[in-house]
Amino acid sequence: MEDSVPFNVLKHKMVPVHELLTDEETDKVLKRLKITRDQLPKIKDSDAAIKTLKAAMNRDIPEKSVVRIIRDSQTSETAEVYRLVIRG
């Protein structure tokens, strides 16, 4: 399978948590940030983390889906960022 990743990159200690948001969660985030979906930074569906998330969920991640990435932060405990999934 060409979309497979040789190991679960999401379990690597250097890779932050990736979560696929529901449409309702996405709407709340966009409203809170006062932006549109297309104003979010992008992440390609060919990214290893997205491929692994797709395999873990055992379903496709549609284009224009939003992923929350939770990173460790030096100034606060964690920082949440959001990415728009695009084809590529």
Q: Would you list the DSSP string of 42-72?
A: EEETTSHHHHHHHHHHTS---TT-EEEEEEE
In terms of pLDDT, which residue wins out, 84 or 6? 84
Cα distance between residue 38 and residue 11, in whole Å: 29
Question: Phi, psi at residue 83, to the nearest 5°?
Answer: -135, 145
Q: What's the whole-number average pLDDT of the chain?
A: 89
Of 6, 2, 85, nearest in space to 47 by CA:
85
Query: pTM for the full model?
Result: 0.84
Reading the block at residue 35, the tokens are 């932006």
CB-based contact 67:52 (threshold 8 Å):
no
Residue 1: band (very low, low, confident or very high) from pLDDT cuts 50, 70, 90: very low
Question: Quick one: fold of 9-86?
Answer: Eukaryotic RPB6 RNA polymerase subunit (3.90.940)
Please state, in angstroms and as integers, the Cα–Cα distance from residue 53 to each residue in 5, 17, 24, following that order: 10, 10, 19
